Amino acid sequence: MLQKVKEQVDGALVHAIREDVWERIRTMDAGQNEYGFDPFGFEPEFLKYVAPPAIWLYRNYFRVETFGMEHIPDSGPVLLVANHTGQIPLDGMMIATAGLIDRSPPRMVRSMVERWVPSIPFISRIFARAGQVVGTRENARILLRRGGCILVFPEGQRGINKTYDRAYQLQEFGLGFMRLALATGTPIVPVSVVGAEEQMPALYDVKSLAKVLGMPAFPITPTWPLLGPLGALPLPVKYRIYFGEPMRFEGDPDEEDRVVGGHVERVREVIAQMIDRGLQERRGVFF
């Protein structure tokens, strides 16, 4: 009985995905074994649960526009480096959806998530099945060696949790991604997301409460926590995602921070420029 219901739901979900997209997902080669799982727990089949809502958000809610998707190479290892904004990490989801449905051939974008993510019930399971990987250096290295497309947010929590008065100001970048790119000779594609900053403009971050609750931040937005759970929904802003030309760096990955920081600065500048371009090109927050 339950099995039948599940089959029907699965069928309906698959139906909700456009046929060509589902075909792409189903025939994806992610290095999975005969049971359909790659060593990180990614199951392409599982995307039928995640893709429909993601595609709906992408097309109808955030009405995402992408620019420069052709800069992502068709195959081979690549690092996408993006700015991180908007209190909840929907920017990563939108970049990944773009790679899956707005690009041909599609690329499975796998983002590196925080190390505490596997300790959250359900999220741990869903993230792993949908191809998200805990952001350790070794994990990234394995994925790149397998020719993967990895998304990193070098700002980390500093970027996503900032309050609205610092909107679109890039926070300090970590150096790890550059060392990784140097060690593996991977090209870097800079990515700028414009629009996500307004989805949940935080007026204030109650740090003490966040600490008590064990959360990375406790933002106060115009609607949260005033409207309760409803206030935790992001606003229907318009997303614009810019992909820059691939950048290649050469050098010793174990170089001093000063030298590696110089390379990182160049990536950061490109991202900042693309953000400025996006802010100029858009007519309004919701259009």
Partner 1 sequence: MSKRTRRARKERVLVTGIGGNLGRAVARRLHRRYEVVGIDRRAVRHMPKDVDVEQVDIRRRRVEDVFRRQRLDAVVHLNIMHDPRSRQDEHHQFNIVGTQKVFELCAEHRVPKVVVLSSADVYGPDPRNDQFLKEDAALMGGQKFEAIRDLIALDMFCNTFFWRHPEIETVILRPVHIVGRVNNAPSRYLRLERPPTILGFDPMVQLIHVEDVVSAIEKALTPGIRGVFNLAGPSPVPLSLILGRLGRSPRPMPEPMLKWMLSTAWSLKLSDWPVPELDHIKYICMVDDSLARKQLGFAHEHGLESILRELGQGVRR
Interface contacts to partner 1, rule CB under 8 A: 33, 35, 37, 39-41, 115-125, 128, 133-134, 136, 138-139, 142
Q: Which is nearer to partner 1, 152 or 170 (CB)?
A: 152
What's the min distance (Å) between Cβ of 24 and partner 1? 24
DSSP character at residue 233: S
Q: Which is nearer to partner 1, 116 or 204 (CB)?
A: 116
Query: Do 100 and 25 meet the contact criterion of CB atoms below 8 Å apart?
Result: yes
Residues 6+ apart with CB under 8 A from 236: 61, 62, 286
The pair of three-digit structure tokens given for residue 143, joined into one six-digit string: 């994925």
Query: Do 186 and 246 meet the contact criterion of CB atoms below 8 Å apart?
Result: no
Q: Which is nearer to partner 1, 61 or 127 (CB)?
A: 127
DSSP character at residue 153: -
Identify which of 135, 169, 138 has the alpha carbon closest to the alpha carbon of residue 152.
135
Residues 6+ apart with CB under 8 A from 93: 54, 57
What's the min distance (Å) between Cβ of 216 and partner 1? 15
What's the min distance (Å) between Cβ of 83 and partner 1? 25
Q: Which is nearer to partner 1, 33 or 280 (CB)?
A: 33
First to last CA, the chain: 46
What's the min distance (Å) between Cβ of 132 and partner 1? 12
Q: Which is nearer to partner 1, 100 or 128 (CB)?
A: 128
What's the min distance (Å) between Cβ of 3 and partner 1? 12
Phi, psi of 140 (to 5 degrees): -60, -40
> Angle at CA 247, nearest 5°, toward 246 and 248?
120
> Angle at CA 119, nearest 5°, toward 116 and 125?
115
Q: Which is nearer to partner 1, 138 or 256 (CB)?
A: 138
What's the min distance (Å) between Cβ of 75 and partner 1? 22
What's the min distance (Å) between Cβ of 126 and partner 1? 9
> Angle at CA 280, nearest 5°, toward 249 and 156?
45
In the chain, alpha helices (H) = 2-16, 19-26, 47-56, 90-101, 123-129, 137-145, 157-160, 176-184, 207-213, 257-281
Count of all residues that appear for the chain in the document: 287
Q: Which is nearer to partner 1, 128 or 144 (CB)?
A: 128
What's the min distance (Å) between Cβ of 220 and partner 1? 28
Q: Which is nearer to partner 1, 36 or 222 (CB)?
A: 36
